[in-house]
Structures are given as C-alpha cells and as structure tokens.
Amino acid sequence: MTAHVESVNVGRAEENPARRNRPTGIRKRPVDGPVEVCDPGPRRGGLGSGLAGDFIGDGKYHGGTDQAVYAFAREELDFWERELGRDIPDGFFGENLTLSGFDVDGARLGDVWRIGEVLLQVTDARIPCGTFRASMEVRGWLRRFTERGRSGAYLKVLSPGTVRAGLPVELVRRAGHGVGVADAFRAQTTERELLPRLLRAGEDLCEQLRRRVEEEQRAAARRGG
C-alpha cells in the first residue's frame, strides 16, 4: 500500500472536559479539500497550529513552530479500535494528519517528509495530557497509551503549501543519528534517564526538546551536588 494521507483534520473551539475554563480543539475532524499549512511562529503571539482553521486551546503547551503539525498512523487508530471495542474516527486522537501505510512511530528526529508541495520535519513525540485523557473517557487511559509507546509525531513546517486527503507521503531525508520518536517518547515519560541520549540527535534536536534535556541535566546536577 502506498503511503498516503488518509485525512487532514482540524479542531474548533469546544468545551474542555478537563478544564472547564479553557476551550480545547483536541476533537479534530476531517476536512474536505485542501488545507493551507505554514509555520505558525512562536507559541506566544503566533498562530498556534500550522493548519489553517485549526484551534489550539492551550498555547502554553501546544502549538508553535516545533509542534505545528501532529501526525498519527491510521493503523494505530485501528489497533485502539480493537482494544477499546469502539469506533475511533480520523482526528479523534487530536492529530492533524492521519496517515496510512507510513511508519510514523519509526520516524527519527530530523526526518523530512514531503506531502504534495509541503515539506515537514519530525521534531518530537506527542506526550499525552490531561485533556487527552478526559476526552477519551477510558479508565487508565494515559497509562495504557504510554505503555503502548506509539505516540505519533510532531512536525515543523519547512516549506508551506496545501495538503489534502489522498496525497502520497514521501520520506525525503532520513536522519543518520538513530534517535527516534519512540526514544523521545520514552525519555520524556517512562525512562527519563534516557533524556541525555537525545542530544545524539545534534542539530536535529528541536529547541524545546533541547531545553527540556538541559533543564533535566541541571536538575540532576543540583541533586548530585
């Protein structure tokens, strides 16, 4: 099966089941036709999402250049449909791009993908939050999602343009350092001692993830001192 975009999904402002005073756009839905994609700029003062019409509810922790686009594999949604015994439509996990036939979770930090005229670069893993937990309404959801360890990938926009369902997804640059999205996920969740190893990604380590590693190193130094 050719790797392709199953759907392009955007969210609108809705009531947040975890934080009543802050709306959320986590429940994303497929869009018919092309959607503009661009670098949204910084979290503070930027556009939030890299997709036109997509709502970001918590700009302190979501959106911005390094989290402009969130991609997730349709095959993983299918896995959770079987596990949970319920339908999980495209966009339900909050992803902007639902991809089929493409190993999203096998990506490395710094990999570059082409979708039509758009170039995207892998920056980080998705770390599940309280809003995701509340929207799923599944007991122990964060634990189950974390144990599965297939988080999908955040991407930044290298070259803007439009994306739409049906377009092929092409890997145009494979990072040589071997630090993957799965490594970044484990290092930020269940195996925090692995955080320093992410520095092996070199220039492919995005700014916000590099700051997190450096903060952890400083905290470790204080504990050791």
Condensed to tens digits (0 to 9), the pLDDT of residues 63-114 reads 999 999 999 999 999 999 999 999 999 999 999 999 999 999 999 999 999 9
CA distance 197 to 193: 9
**Which letter does DSSP use for residue 101 in this model?**
S
Taken in order 64, 125, 209, 177, the sign of the CA dihedral is negative
Confidence at residue 172, expressed as pLDDT on a 0 to 100 scale: 98
Confidence at residue 225, expressed as pLDDT on a 0 to 100 scale: 63
Confidence at residue 209, expressed as pLDDT on a 0 to 100 scale: 93
Confidence at residue 79, expressed as pLDDT on a 0 to 100 scale: 98
Confidence at residue 1, expressed as pLDDT on a 0 to 100 scale: 66
Domain ranges within the chain, ordered by starting residue: 4-224
How far CA 140 is from CA of 133, 144, 152, in Å, comes to: 8, 6, 19
CA distance 125 to 104: 10
The pair phi, psi for residue 171, each rounded to 5°, is -85, 115
The stretches in the chain having pLDDT less than 70 are 1, 225
Pairing, β 4-10 against β 29-30: antiparallel
pTM of model > 0.75:
yes
Query: Three-state SS for 108?
Result: strand
Confidence at residue 178, expressed as pLDDT on a 0 to 100 scale: 96
Which residue, chain included where needed, has tokens 């939030």?
48
Confidence at residue 62, expressed as pLDDT on a 0 to 100 scale: 87
CATH architecture, range 4-224: Beta Barrel (2.40)
Confidence at residue 18, expressed as pLDDT on a 0 to 100 scale: 79
Q: Using alpha carbons, select from 48, 61, 39, 41 the residue that is nearest to residue 10.
A: 48
Neighbours of 160 (CB within 10 A): 14
Query: Three-state SS for 1?
Result: coil
With b for 16 or more beta-carbon neighbours within 10 A and e for fewer, the 51-74 pattern comes to beebbbbbbeebbbbbbbbbbbbb
Confidence at residue 13, expressed as pLDDT on a 0 to 100 scale: 84
